[in-house]
């Protein structure tokens, strides 16, 4: 069978059609080229930004602060996670609804009110005809926030933040301080040790694939691990509470301006309790006068009065201008450089030994004792003790004590005379307890501190020693006689050897002394093996018969009684020549 090929006749292309096709192709090419230029040149940075948003996500660390705990890990301060609830009514949509459906504000508030325990009308009033960016509530707990999340309502946003909380209220406020509403440290340890308490978690960039899967990157191990460290204090909360109760009761009883009490380990400088009164609730700091936020125990100065007499006796013994078994005549008053100085009761005590000088708190006796010491040497000793230097601690910034210029001290005989019984110069209460700690531990300087991670500066030379061990023991025994037979007898506790010294100092104003007083008492225990120093200072008691023995001693006794129980200090029996533990 013969096959025939089909012949197709070619028709010439219409010139107009070809022209239109050519022009259309040119337009398409130029449009594509223009689009390419726009994307590659003009929109390049914006497209790169959008690509990064799709391909990566940045995690921001929550602004947090480390918890603060006592030596037994009891919470003093911690961050409580809370939430803010924002609403966008134009996006309100319930699970299962069509994409275009928008729920009413009333429908949403009905579901929220039962979770938030707030009446519908109150929630409705917050919208005020706004359709976006409405802050409904803050300080929402994690439990309630989780319930709101479970509603899965579109248009509701929960913003997580942390708020500082102080579970022990006013007990630690004068020590720990607080952070303000913006989470900024504003007082106390929170401010002074801010860099140690803040958590410096860095933000991280996570790379993702097209489907959102995280891709390998250069994140270091631990970049996404939370910081669970805490700032540990040397404070014991039980002792802190006992000290606070004893101090607040006495300050209120005597209608005093303020009071301070501290218990410190004399060998290490660890502070076991530190309280002041009046105090404040750091959870409601805005309700109080800002004057309460100061750490006056290290920032304010006072004349230590008779509590400095044991320090002066130690200086006299070190310079060998007196002997342990010496005596001094006290006729009740003495004239120095045209000034008449007298005892607190204006009475003389005759010939008395040095323990008796402390027992009766003889000013005249102290003046005569310290007149044996060259004023130049005396002043050098005071400088060596750091009277006029800042006390370096982990507490508030301290104020340097005030000491007269050396030329005045040396050339005006009244200056060393009044210094002999704790007048004419000023120090902070914290400095005073440091000096008594040195007197108790064999003469060595220690640095008061409240953080368990605190490290004293390591020097190549041995730590500074103010007094010899023999002098320290001698003065401590003399101070013990003040508790056994003198003005400190109110602190006596059967079975325990306690050394102490009372102080009652008039406050100076514009160069002259006023009727306002500072009553104080310092104690060391146990004398046979000194471990603890206790200092109580009560400022401006306003009732009659306010002395160190009547105002400060009762506080110290209550604190020491609690200290004995908490630290499990065994009782001792005094026996000539030996000390024996009770069976």
- Residue of 309, 510, 338, 303 whose CA lies nearest to 412: 338
DSSP 543-554: SSS--IIIIIHH
Distance, in Å, from the CA atom of 125 to the CA atom of 219, rounded to the nearest integer, reads 47
Rounded (5°) CA angle 505-508-513: 80
H helices of 83-187, where? 105-116, 120-125, 142-151, 173-176
Of the candidates 350, 330, 353, which has an alpha carbon nearest to the alpha carbon of residue 474?
353
Strands of 224-287, DSSP E: 230-232, 258-265, 271-277
- Sort residue 442 into left (φ over 0), alpha (ψ -120 to 50) or beta: left
CA distances in angstroms from 244 to 27, 241, 293, 393, listed in the order given: 88, 5, 16, 22
State the Rg of the chain over Cα: 38
The 10 Å Cβ neighbour count of residue 397 is 13
What is the β-pairing status of strands 230-232 and 67-69? Answer: parallel
Contact between 108 and 167 under an 8 Å Cβ cutoff? The reply is no
Closest CA to 71 of 219, 210, 233: 233
CA-CA distances (angstroms) from residue 284 to 180, 257, 336, 357, 463?
A: 10, 22, 54, 49, 43
Place of tokens 């959102």: 212
Distance between CA atoms of residues 483 and 497, nearest Å: 9
List residues with catalytic annotation.
306
**Which residues on neighbouring strands pair with residue 504, listed in sequence order?**
519
Distance CA 367, CA 334 (A): 8
Tokens of residue 330, six digits:
């006290």
């Amino acid at each position: 069978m013969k096959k025939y090929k089909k012949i197709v006749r070619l028709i010439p292309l219409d010139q107009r059609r070809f022209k239109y096709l050519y022009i259309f192709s040119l337009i398409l090419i130029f449009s594509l080229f223009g689009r390419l230029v726009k994307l590659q040149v003009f929109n390049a940075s914006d497209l790169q930004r959008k690509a990064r948003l799709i391909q990566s996500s940045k995690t921001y660390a929550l602004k947090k602060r480390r918890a603060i705990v006592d030596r037994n890990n009891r919470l003093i301060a911690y961050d409580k996670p809370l939430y803010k609830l924002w609403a966008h009514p134009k996006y309100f949509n319930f699970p299962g609804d069509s994409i275009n459906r928008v729920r009413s504000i009333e429908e949403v508030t009905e579901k929220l009110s039962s979770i938030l325990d707030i009446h519908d009308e109150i929630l409705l009033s917050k919208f005020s005809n706004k359709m976006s960016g409405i802050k409904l509530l803050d300080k929402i707990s994690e439990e309630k926030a989780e319930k709101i999340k479970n509603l899965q309502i579109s248009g509701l946003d929960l913003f997580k933040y942390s708020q500082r909380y102080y579970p022990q209220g006013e007990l630690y406020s004068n020590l720990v301080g607080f952070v303000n509403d913006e989470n900024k440290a504003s007082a106390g340890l929170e401010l002074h040790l801010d860099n140690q308490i803040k958590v410096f978690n860095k933000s991280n960039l996570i790379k993702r694939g097209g489907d959102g899967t995280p891709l390998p990157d250069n994140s270091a191990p631990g970049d996404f691990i939370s910081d669970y460290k805490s700032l540990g204090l040397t404070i014991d909360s039980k002792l802190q509470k006992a000290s606070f109760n004893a101090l607040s009761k006495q300050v209120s009883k005597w209608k005093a301006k303020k009071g301070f009490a501290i218990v410190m380990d004399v060998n290490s400088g660890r502070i076991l309790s530190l309280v002041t009164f009046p105090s404040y609730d750091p959870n409601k700091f805005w309700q109080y006068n800002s004057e309460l936020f100061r750490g006056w125990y290290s920032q304010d100065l006072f004349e230590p009065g008779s509590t400095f007499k044991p320090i002066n006796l130690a200086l006299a013994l070190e310079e060998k201008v007196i002997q342990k078994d010496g005596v001094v005549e006290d006729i009740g008053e003495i004239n120095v450089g045209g000034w008449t100085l007298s005892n607190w009761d204006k009475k003389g005590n005759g010939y008395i030994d040095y323990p008796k000088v402390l027992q009766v708190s003889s000013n005249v006796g102290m003046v005569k004792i310290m007149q044996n010491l060259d004023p130049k040497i005396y002043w050098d000793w005071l400088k060596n003790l750091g009277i006029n230097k800042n006390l370096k601690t982990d507490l508030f910034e301290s104020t340097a004590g005030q000491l007269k210029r050396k030329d005045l001290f040396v050339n005006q005989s009244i200056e060393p005379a009044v210094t002999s019984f704790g007048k004419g110069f000023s120090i902070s209460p914290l400095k005073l307890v440091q000096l008594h700690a040195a007197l108790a531990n064999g003469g060595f300087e220690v640095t008061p501190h409240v953080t368990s991670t605190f490290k004293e500066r390591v020097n190549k030379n041995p730590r500074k020693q103010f007094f010899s061990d023999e002098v320290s023991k001698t003065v401590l025994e003399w101070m013990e006689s003040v508790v056994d037979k003198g003005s400190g007898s109110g602190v006596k506790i059967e079975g325990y050897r306690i050394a102490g010294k009372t102080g009652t100092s008039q406050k100076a104003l514009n160069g002259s002394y006023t009727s306002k007083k500072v009553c104080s008492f310092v104690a060391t225990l146990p004398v046979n093996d000194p471990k603890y120093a206790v200092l109580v200072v009560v400022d401006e008691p306003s009732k009659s018969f306010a002395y160190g023995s009547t105002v400060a001693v009762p506080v110290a006794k209550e604190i020491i009684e609690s200290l004995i129980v908490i630290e499990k200090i065994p009782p001792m029996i005094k026996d000539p020549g030996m000390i024996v533990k009770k069976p």
